[in-house]
Amino acid sequence: MEFGLSESQQLLRDNARKFFAGECPMEEVRRLMETETAYDANLWNKLVEQGYTGIILSEEYGGVGLGKVELILLMEEAGRALLPGPLFSTVALAGAVVESVANDSQKKKYLSAICAGDARSTLAILEASPSWRPADLRMASANGKLTGEKLFVTDAAAADFIVVAARDGIFAVDVKAPGISISPMKTLDLTRKAYSVRFTNTPAERLGDLTGLPRALDIATAALAAELVGGMQRTLDITVDYAKMRKQFGKPIGMFQAVQHHCADMYLETESARSAAYYAAWALEENAPDAAVAVSIAKMYASDAGRTVGNRGIQVHGGMGFTWENDIHLYYRRAKASETALGDSTYHRERIATLVIDGGAASSQSA
C-alpha cells in the first residue's frame, strides 16, 4: 500500500508544472482572459504535443493511455497555473463521456480528433432548471434532431463538437450544424468561459444511452476536485509569500498568530482536499466498490475548501487582496465556478447520504 506518487507520476507532475509555468504564466492568463474565448491555438498545439489531450485515452486513438491518477495530477497542475481554454472541457468532460458511452467507430472518430489536436469539445448538461442528475434532464431528441437550450456550457465557443446529455441519450453535435447558436454568458470566472447553446432542429449523432454517464461524470468530478486543489495550493503559496514579505508594526505580518492560523488552516484544507482527490482517482481507476462515494467526498470537500482557502487568502492579503491587480481574485473566481460545477457540496453530501445511509454502501477500508 503506497499513497505516494510513483517516479513516473512525479515526473509527469513536475513536467506539467514546468510546462504550464513556461507556456502559460500569469501574464498569459491575464491576456487570454480578456479575449472572447480564452482559447489560444498556439498554446493548444503545445498541449497536444505534450500528449495532454490524450492523457487517459487509449493508444488506439492516438492517446497516451494513462490512468485516472495521472489525469488528476495533470489537472491539479492546470489548476495551479489557472490554465485558460478548453483542456478540462475537452478531456475531462467530453472525452470521458464519449469514451464511456460511444461505440467503437464513434470513439475512433471523436477521440482520435481530440488526441491529434484536431478537435476541441465540451459537455452540455444544464438547462434552465439546473440539475446534475441525469434523471432531471428535459431536452430530448426528435427524429435525430435536438431543440432547446443548454446553459453554463464551458468553452463552447472554442469547441468543434459539443457532447449533449439529453433525456433519451448522449449526442454529439457539430458546431457548424444548422440551427445552433452559441452565445456567451457573463460569469464570475474570467478564465473559463461559459455559454448558452441553443439548438433548433439541429442534427445530432446519437452516441449512446445514459447508463455510462454517471461513471464519466465521476471521472470529470474527480478531475475538477484536483483542479481545485491546484488552485488552493497556488492561493496558499501566494498568501504565505505575501505574509513573509508584507510588514506592519515593523514586523512581517506572518509573525502574527492570527495570520499564521489562517495560513495553517489553508494548508490543512489544501492537504485534506488533495488526499480525497487522489484517493477518488485511484478508486475510479481500480473500480473500487466505494469509488462513487470517494468522488463525492472529494468534490464535497474541495468545493467548500476552495472557497474557504480563497476567503482566507484574500483576508491575509488585506487591501491588496481586494485589488484587481493581485492574482488571488482570479483563483477565487475559478474556485467559485468550480464549487458549483458538477455539483456543489450540498449536492454531493446528499449523494453520499443516498449511497451510505440509504444504500448501506460498504465503508471503505484499506484492507
Partner 1 sequence: MDLSLNNEERQFRDELRAWLESNVPKDWAEWREKPLEESFPYLRTWQRKLHEGRWAAVSWPKEYGGRSATLMQQAIFWEEMARAQAPSMANALGLGLIGPTIIAYGTEAQKKRFVPKILSTDEVWCQGFSEPNAGSDLAGLQTEARLDGDHYVVNGQKVWTSYGWVADWCELVVRTDPNVPKHKGLTVLLVDMKSPGVEVRPLRQITGESEFNELFFRDVRVPVENVLGKVNDGWNVAVSTLMFERGSYGARLHLLFKRNIDRLIELSRNQHRNGQVSAKDPLTRQKLAQCYAEIEIMRLNQLRAFSRITATGVPGPEGSIQKIFWSELNQRLQQVAQELLGPYGQLTHGDSRAIDNGIWSYGYLRTRGNTIEAGTSEVQRNIIGHFVLGLPRSY
Binding site residues, partner 1, CB under 8 A: 1-6, 9, 69, 240, 243-244, 251-252, 254-257, 259-261, 263-265, 267-268, 271-272, 274-276, 278-279, 282, 286, 293-294, 296-297, 300-301, 346, 349-350, 352-353, 356-358, 363-367
| Cα 279 to Cα 291: distance, rounded to the nearest angstrom | 9
154 or 221: whose CB is closer to partner 1? 221
Q: At what angle do helices 68-81 and 257-285 cross, to 10 degrees?
A: 150
Shortest CB 169 distance to partner 1, Å: 31
User: What pairs with residue 148 in β-bridges?
Assistant: 199
| Cα 91 to Cα 299: distance, rounded to the nearest angstrom | 18
49 or 286: whose CB is closer to partner 1? 286
Shortest CB 273 distance to partner 1, Å: 8
Question: Phi and psi of 14, rounded to 5°?
Answer: -65, -40
Shortest CB 216 distance to partner 1, Å: 22
Shortest CB 75 distance to partner 1, Å: 15
Shortest CB 72 distance to partner 1, Å: 10
What amino acid occupies position 20?
F
32 or 240: whose CB is closer to partner 1? 240
Do residues 295 and 222 touch, judged by C-beta distance below 8 A? yes
Burial grade of 22 (CB within 10 A; 0-12, 13-18, 19 or more): exposed
CA distance readout (Å), 191 to 87, 321, 330:
12, 18, 8
| Cα 99 to Cα 325: distance, rounded to the nearest angstrom | 41
Do residues 69 and 4 touch, judged by C-beta distance below 8 A? no
Q: Which cell numbers in the block locate residue 235?
A: 492561493
161 or 278: whose CB is closer to partner 1? 278
Shortest CB 25 distance to partner 1, Å: 24
Contacts (Cβ under 8 Å, ≥6 apart) of 260? 243, 254
Shortest CB 241 distance to partner 1, Å: 10
Shortest CB 275 distance to partner 1, Å: 4
200 or 346: whose CB is closer to partner 1? 346
Question: Phi and psi of 343, rounded to 5°?
Answer: 105, 125
Shortest CB 237 distance to partner 1, Å: 10
- CB 279: neighbour CB atoms within 10 A? 21
* Nearest residue to 290 via CA among 239, 235, 356, 350: 356
166 or 243: whose CB is closer to partner 1? 243
Per-position DSSP letters for 322-337, written without gaps between them: GSSSSTHHHHHHHHHH
215 or 274: whose CB is closer to partner 1? 274
167 or 261: whose CB is closer to partner 1? 261
43 or 281: whose CB is closer to partner 1? 281
> Three-state SS across 49-60?
HCCHHHCCCCHH
| Cα 208 to Cα 351: distance, rounded to the nearest angstrom | 24
